Amino acid sequence: MMLGLAARNPTRPMIRHWSGGAWRSTTWRDFALAVASIAAGLRARGVSPGDRVALVSDSRPEFLIADNAIMAIGAVTVPTYTTNTVADHAHILRDSGARAAIVSSARLAARLREAAGPDGLDLLICIEEAPDTVSWAALSADPGDLAMLVAEVQHIPEGRLACLIYTSGTGGAPKGVMLPHRAMLANRKGVLPLIQQLGLEWSGACYLSFLPLSHAYEHTVGGSLLPSYGIEIVFSRGADRIAAEFQEIEPALVTAVPRLFEVLRGRILAGLEKAKPLNRALFERTLALGLRKMDGPPLNILERLQDAVLDRLVRAKIRARFGKRLVAIVSGGARLDPDLSGFFLALGINVLQGYGQTEAGPVIAVNLPWENRRRTVGLPVTGVEARIAEDGELLVRGGLVMDGYWADPASTARTLAIPPGESEPWLHTGDVGTIDETGRLTITDRKRDFIKTLGGDMVSPARIEGLLMAEPEIAQAVIAGEGRPSIVALVVPAENAAPGAAERAVQRINGKLSGIERVRKCAVVEPFTVENGMLTPTMKVKRRVVLERHAADIAGLYS
């Protein structure tokens, strides 16, 4: 697919990235020629069909080139986060059996070499210069035969293993998800009607890529799905630049994790505190009317007129911050609180919540801009069957589903299980949810994350944490209470929050909770970050790690 698109659209821009103080463009022809060259270099150095090759790089053209070159010669890509610890890398190298690795920097080369241990790696390639590695320039010295490679890849069966993507590991050691070419192609087919209805196919639109390409979502969506529709991929320079890049790049689509929305809302509200009283009043009225339009009751004639005026006075200025061509920001990676998405929707920013899993290619469902039900994760994409099991778990079936977990038949059997009375397996997502009469999915919790208190009550931590983090004074929150008499919370105050503000926010939320859900006490703790091991690289909180690290704080709340 990718090499065929390059042949038909050689001069079209495919990738844009920042290098040497300026934006650089890679055309489809540049991409295809580089893939042929790297494929030849890998073969010459002994990489054979079925070999696993670790790919540890920041988002840059070389990542996509290496990824496609590895798969084109029948080998298997193992994309891995640059933020992984040495122990993380060691687990993945050992578990996958990868004997070759491509890294982007000397620092990562040293880390992979340490992770590989005394046996070492057979082949270590570095995109930038690094000692004792094969350089990217040396690997690409042979131009390769593009025509022969194009002819060869025509015969790759769609069921062949394309990549091993290791899950984020919020609850244990990451497992290697076996995704065949079929799964990613099924995702492309499933999303195609949406892209066509938006009029984005080969339209000159671009996508601002913010998540790491080693993440399952970005690996499929940013790595092949959106490029295959002719949408240019622009790699963001990072979270600290993304606000400026909205205006600079003017993307049509952006993907983000819920944490980014929390940061953006915090910045908007912080700016509002410095605004004149009249401007604050106009903003608050705009927000209130926007929420009313979504949730009811319907606006009367006077309110509709007010809303139209405020659309020009307030919403137009906010939309301008996100660029003139923005169609939607799609949230993925974790549950997006409806109040958080409602904040942006009421201000005229089209935020769409989607849903997926690494084990499903990973796109399962997404809301539509013209039919956005923010309290759901939308309709399953084309080709996806979904149902709810008797215990409330969401089950999924279709071409997008993985082949299983690498070298882990027991976990595979549990996750790809055959329900009673049926003959075919379904993917057991581990998520608890519902399907309404229109077919839309709502995810309420992780099946294994329910807390059972000492009194036998079952409490959903995700619901309480979502409500807490919707408060502007709270940046992060984790609920505890398993086997305890009541619920307590670990909270991280928002940046610049006043002393005691987070605790007061907890008390406000208690007014919205039932008796068994109320937070009896809370402890203010340091932020959960990737660096301290309490966030995954995709900004998901590692609940188990947080609870273990703060066991003393939690015990103190019950003393």
3-state helix, strand and coil shares in percent for the chain, rounded to the nearest 5: 40, 25, 35
Based on the fold, state whether residues 442 and 506 are members of the same structural domain.
Answer: no
Show which of 446, 477, 512 is a domain's final residue: 446
What pLDDT shows up at residue 500?
A: 94
Q: Is residue 261 part of a domain?
A: yes
Structure confidence by residue, pLDDT tens digits, 216-233: 999 999 999 999 999 999
Based on the fold, state whether residues 282 and 359 are members of the same structural domain.
Answer: yes
Pick the range with the lowest mean pLDDT from 130-134, 290-294, 537-541. 537-541
Structure confidence by residue, pLDDT tens digits, 76-95: 999 999 988 898 899 999 99
Query: Per the structure block, which two tokens stand in for 221?
Result: 């969506």
User: Are 372 and 341 in contact, with CB atoms under 8 Å apart?
Assistant: no
Rounded Cα distance between 492 and 112, Å, is 33
What pLDDT shows up at residue 169?
A: 53
What pLDDT shows up at residue 445?
A: 78
What pLDDT shows up at residue 267?
A: 83
Structure confidence by residue, pLDDT tens digits, 380-410: 999 999 999 988 999 999 999 999 999 999 9
Q: Is residue 503 part of a domain?
A: yes
What is the percentage of the chain residues whose pLDDT exceeds 90? Answer: 77
Does 270 or 140 have the greater pLDDT score? 140
Pick the range with the lowest mean pLDDT from 30-34, 236-240, 285-289. 236-240
Structural domain for 472, as ranges: 450-558
Based on the fold, state whether residues 368 and 458 are members of the same structural domain.
Answer: no
Amino acid code (one letter) for 389 = A
What pLDDT shows up at residue 315?
A: 97
Q: What is the separation of C-alpha 446 from the centre of its chain, rounded to a whole number of angstroms?
A: 17
What pLDDT shows up at residue 239?
A: 80
Show which of 446, 478, 506 is a domain's final residue: 446
Based on the fold, state whether residues 357 and 474 are members of the same structural domain.
Answer: no
Q: b vs e for 235-257, b when ≥16 Cβ sit within 10 Å of the residue's Cβ?
A: bbbeeeebeebbeebbbbbbbbb
Structure confidence by residue, pLDDT tens digits, 423-433: 899 999 999 89
Query: Mean pLDDT over residues 51-56, rounded?
Result: 98
Residue 382's domain is classified under what CATH number? 3.40.50.12780
Any residues with CB less than 8 A from the CB of 410 and at least 6 apart, and which?
none
What pLDDT shows up at residue 444?
A: 82
Asked if the model's pLDDT at residue 168 lies above 70, the reply is no
Rounded Cα distance between 340 and 362, Å, is 23
Find tokens 């205006």 and name the residue.
Answer: 247
Based on the fold, state whether residues 454 and 545 are members of the same structural domain.
Answer: yes
What pLDDT shows up at residue 171?
A: 52
What pLDDT shows up at residue 505?
A: 95
Q: What is the DSSP string of 72-91?
A: HTT-EEEE--TT--HHHHHH
Based on the fold, state whether residues 257 and 389 are members of the same structural domain.
Answer: yes
Based on the fold, state whether residues 440 and 480 are members of the same structural domain.
Answer: no
Structure confidence by residue, pLDDT tens digits, 531-540: 898 988 777 8
What pLDDT shows up at residue 297?
A: 94
Asked if the model's pLDDT at residue 64 lies above 60, the reply is yes
Residue 529's domain is classified under what CATH number? 3.30.300.30
Does 484 or 301 have the greater pLDDT score? 301
Based on the fold, state whether residues 440 and 502 are members of the same structural domain.
Answer: no
Quickly state the pLDDT bin for 72 (edges 50, 70, 90): very high
Q: What is the DSSP string of 471-513?
A: STTEEEEEEE-TTSSSEEEEEEEPTTPPTTHHHHHHHHHHTTS
Rounded Cα distance between 453 and 365, Å, is 33
Asked if the model's pLDDT at residue 170 lies above 70, the reply is no
pTM: 0.85
Quickly state the pLDDT bin for 495 (edges 50, 70, 90): confident
Query: Per the structure block, which two tokens stand in for 519?
Result: 């937070």
Strand pairing class (123-126; 451-452): unpaired
Rounded Cα distance between 193 and 383, Å, is 11
Based on the fold, state whether residues 272 and 366 are members of the same structural domain.
Answer: yes
What pLDDT shows up at residue 238?
A: 87
Rounded Cα distance between 559 and 557, Å, is 6
Q: How many domains does the chain have?
A: 2
Based on the fold, state whether residues 442 and 508 are members of the same structural domain.
Answer: no
Show which of 420, 446, 472 is a domain's final residue: 446
Give the 3-state DSSP-derived string for 194-253, with helices as H, strands as E and coil as C: HHHHHCCCCCCCEEEECCCCCCHHHHHHHHHHCHHHCCEEEECCCCCCHHHHHHHHCCCE
Based on the fold, state whether residues 273 and 361 are members of the same structural domain.
Answer: yes
Q: Is residue 471 part of a domain?
A: yes
Quickly state the pLDDT bin for 172 (edges 50, 70, 90): low
Q: Is residue 116 part of a domain?
A: no
Q: Is residue 108 part of a domain?
A: no
Element counts in the chain: helices (H) and strands (E):
20, 27
Structure confidence by residue, pLDDT tens digits, 189-210: 999 999 999 999 999 999 999 8
Based on the fold, state whether residues 360 and 434 are members of the same structural domain.
Answer: yes
Q: Is residue 127 part of a domain?
A: no
Q: Is residue 134 part of a domain?
A: no
What is the percentage of the chain residues whose pLDDT exceeds 70? Answer: 99
Q: Cα angle vertex 482, ends 541, 87, to 5°?
A: 40
What pLDDT shows up at residue 59?
A: 96
Any residues with CB less than 8 A from the CB of 552 and at least 6 apart, and which?
none
Quickly state the pLDDT bin for 37 (edges 50, 70, 90): very high
Q: Is residue 545 part of a domain?
A: yes
